[in-house]
Amino acid sequence: MSSAALAAPLKSPDAFRTISEVALELDVPQHVLRFWESRFVQIKPVKRAGGRRFYRPEDVDLLRGIRGLLYSDGLTIRGVQKVLKERGLRHVAGIGRGATPDAMVIEKIVFVEKPVAEAAPAKKRAPHLRAVPSPISLPFFDEEPGIDEKPAPVKPGLAAEERYKLKTLLGELEGLKRRLKTARRGL
């Protein structure tokens, strides 16, 4: 805690809190609290002259519950929105006050690193997936015709600038494909 926060007199539990006090209490930056206001319509601090935000004790409990769901439980913003919609404001505020919620997991982010076998047999691809030929050959990516060749018919609606953008994108994608193959060989 900063020395300014320690020097400030303790407020009543029912007193309104400024955004800096709430940010300090929840250990999140002020801009995160403003971002949460844009994502959760349930957060409605009182705004005074000059746009200063003052949070009621219920607002602080709700913010503490949202913080717990996001940071401790690992839910996404959308997951917390779903909890708010299905369980309600009181449930999330109760989490902020330390109430033990029912066991519930919504959109929890989990990362599992799968070991790679050395000589694993090739898996059969699902019928809805197909390999992309390398290099991609599409009519608008074809090389310009030579002197003796007849020019290909011009496709309507594809400007030179769009062709350039598509060729650039194709080059980036092929580069990424090469990097992915190299990374897979390195594992």
Domains of the chain, by residue range, sit at 9-97, 139-186
Please state which architecture CATH assigns to domain 9-97.
Orthogonal Bundle (1.10)
The pLDDT, as a whole number, for residue 103 is: 47
d(CA 70, CA 18): 22
- Of 23, 63, 57, 73, which Cα lies nearest the Cα of 42? 63
Compute CA distances 100 → 33, 44, 94, 103, 136, whole Å: 24, 24, 8, 9, 55
Model confidence pLDDT, tens digit, residues 138-173: 554 455 555 555 555 555 556 677 778 888 888 888
d(CA 37, CA 60): 12
The pLDDT, as a whole number, for residue 91 is: 87
Model confidence pLDDT, tens digit, residues 89-138: 888 888 888 775 554 545 555 666 666 556 555 566 555 555 555 555 55
d(CA 104, CA 122): 38
pTM of structure: 0.50
